[in-house]
Amino acid sequence: MKKLYLIWRVLATGFSFLLFGIGGFLLALLVFPLINLIWRDQWLRRYRAQQLISWSFRFYLKLLDYLGVMSYEIKGLETLRADKGRIIIANHPSLLDVVLLIAALPQADCVVKQALWRNPFLRGVVKAAGYISNQDTEALILQCRDSLKKGGCLILFPEGTRTTPGKAVRFQRGAANIALRAQADIRLVEISCQPTTLTKQEKWYQVADRKVKFLVEVKRLVEVQPFLAEADELPLATRQLTRYLESQYT
């Protein structure tokens, strides 16, 4: 029975990957064009697309729970949803982290890898939602600042890649740089999963022998103004803020 259950988990995980890709392709093909026809304002179109993506991800997570792949809990959801014009940072233990955060937020911008803009299944999704490419650093910062000034939230994973289990968290300076230049406060979010799944070192079919449980904990708000006031120049403030944020996850 244990072997049969493991086979079922592999099949269910493979099906969930397939569904994710097909779902993104169908949204881009059938739904987002309707949004563009109904709403003329660019920002309103982006907002409606992000709402739809958030709803779709909530449905997707419920399906994964029903299939026995994973379950999740979010502590502090109302606090997270009340944040406006703030950067939301999190550690990155699994491939599902961004799905969990977008599902929790009806409206949020993300910085995504340039490769997703060439992905035939997901490029329509990232384009409709107005997600921000990481290809051009200066353009990225300007777009992030523009989004935050309009009251949007920005999801960032300062590690830049998934966390290696057992190794210390190491943050890049991009998140701190954006926060300081946009003068946007930072909401800390901590994600954990037991057992580990979909890490950078694991293939999709290397599944655990039991249901994975995700816990998303909304933590404190970090104000950036004190870092700007204490440092003589932006690069120093960026280094200090990066070290401080990193220490909160160590």
Domains of the chain, residue spans: 2-247
pTM for this model (two decimals): 0.92
Q: What is the total residue count of the chain?
A: 250
| Cα–Cα nearest to 187, from 92, 107, 100, 80 | 80
Q: What is the 3-state secondary structure (H, E, C) of 95-135?
A: CCHHHHHHHHCCCCEEEECHHHHHCCCCHHHHHHHCCEECC
How far the first Cα of the chain sits from its last, in Å, is 39
Place of tokens 């190491």: 170
* Amino acid at the residue 166: G
What CATH number has the domain spanning 2-247?
3.40.1130
pLDDT by residue, tens only, the chain of 250 residues: 788 888 999 999 999 999 999 999 999 999 999 998 898 888 899 999 999 999 999 999 999 999 999 999 999 999 999 999 999 999 999 999 999 999 999 999 999 888 888 888 888 999 999 999 888 888 899 999 999 998 889 999 999 889 888 888 899 999 999 999 999 999 999 999 999 899 988 888 898 888 999 999 999 999 999 999 988 899 999 999 999 999 999 8
Which residues lie below 8 Å from residue 133, measured CB to CB, with a gap of 6+? Answer: 111, 112, 113, 114, 117, 139, 140
